Amino acid sequence: MDNSIFQAYEDEIQALEEEIKLLREKYEDIQQESTFFSEEEILKSIKSFESETQGETKGHESPSDLKAQLESLETDLSFLMKITGFQFTSHSKKTVEKTRNRTVQKHRLSGKCHSLSFQLEFQLLQMQNNEKVSAVVSDLNIIMESREDSDVSKFVSSTEEHGDLLTFFRSLSTYAEWHEHRRHTFLHFKAKYPDIVTLPEGLLGDFIVLRNPKVSGLELMIVWKIHLDEEGITTPVLDLLTKVPEQVLKQRMMSVESIPSSFRSALGLFGIEAAIENLIKVLSSGK
């Protein structure tokens, strides 16, 4: 390959390194004040950076297409959002202390994981010793709508106490995914069996009620709780409650009493969706 082409590549790389250096210096200056970036502002900055780099690289056959890299990063981000369910809506930070080996920043972060909203406030201490960088989270404050749930409240309190952001995000992703799974399951059965399935508390409730239109007063309530312990482990717990009219109870004492235990057995054998499906079919076939 011609030496002039190599020289063009080296010149471009050097120019990019200088630009990165300038951007880093600007970034350090901005850190001294509180910053806030909305999704609209981020997109605007991306487009601005994209147009600038296109102008700078024009006329050179660059070995690494910056536009392609940008699109690749956007694709990766979209993929991560899909598999984790996280979508961050705002972030602000303020540098409260900065020395050669020590930086203290205050962060505020808000977003959603599937249908669950959250807000975080914490202080991040970064220390550098030779080439090793360590980070410590403190003063963690977590705000969640679902904190009214006693399990969630205990988990949040434990996470705040230990300043464990990794556990929070990992556990919230699993917990919110189960909430989303429950919502989709309830929606599926309500749409498929509208005359049998009712949702007294809507799609965000933790139970559905099954009724046979041919048997007045007979109700089966499927309760689907999602427990979250202090260590961040999520466990779905399902059970079946029955409401049976006295007349039906006398006629079908043994069969009605065995329904809850049969449902729990079906859960272990076939899974949640199949167990509910079988229960609805048994209920609808009764007269």
User: How many structural domains compose the chain?
Assistant: 2
User: What's the rounded Cα separation, in Å, for the pair 14 and 19?
Assistant: 9
Same domain, 200 and 263: yes
Mean pLDDT by 10 residues, the chain (287 residues): 54 65 60 49 59 54 64 73 82 89 92 90 89 87 79 91 90 92 96 95 92 82 94 94 70 65 91 94 75
Same domain, 181 and 281: yes
Query: Does residue 189 lie within any of the structural domains?
Result: yes
> What is the pLDDT at residue 145?
76
User: What's the rounded Cα separation, in Å, for the pair 101 and 94?
Assistant: 17
Same domain, 128 and 204: no
Q: Of 95, 124, 145, which residue constitutes the final position of a domain?
A: 145
User: What's the rounded Cα separation, in Å, for the pair 95 and 98?
Assistant: 7
User: Residue 224 is which amino acid?
Assistant: W
Q: Of 127, 145, 163, which residue constitutes the final position of a domain?
A: 145
User: What's the rounded Cα separation, in Å, for the pair 62 and 158?
Assistant: 51
Same domain, 235 and 135: no
Q: Of 103, 129, 145, which residue constitutes the final position of a domain?
A: 145
DSSP for residue 196: T
Same domain, 135 and 189: no
Reported as type and span, the H/E element at residue 82 is helix 66-84
Rounded alpha-carbon distances, angstroms, from residue 169 to 108, 134, 154, 159: 15, 20, 16, 10
Query: Does residue 73 lie within any of the structural domains?
Result: no
Cβ atoms 144, 152 nearer than 8 A? yes
Same domain, 209 and 268: yes
Same domain, 205 and 267: yes
Same domain, 200 and 136: no
> Domain with 116 in it: what CATH number?
2.20.130
Same domain, 138 and 209: no
Query: Does residue 31 lie within any of the structural domains?
Result: no
Query: Does residue 136 lie within any of the structural domains?
Result: yes
> What is the pLDDT at residue 105?
93
Query: Does residue 276 lie within any of the structural domains?
Result: yes
Query: Does residue 110 lie within any of the structural domains?
Result: yes
- Report field, pTM of the whole predicted structure over 0.75: no
Query: Does residue 25 lie within any of the structural domains?
Result: no
Query: Does residue 118 lie within any of the structural domains?
Result: yes
133 is in which domain, residue-wise?
82-145
Same domain, 181 and 242: yes
Give the end-to-end CA distance of the chain in Å, rounded to a whole number. Answer: 85
Give the bridge partners for 202, in sequence order.
none
> What is the pLDDT at residue 131?
75
Same domain, 136 and 223: no
Same domain, 121 and 205: no
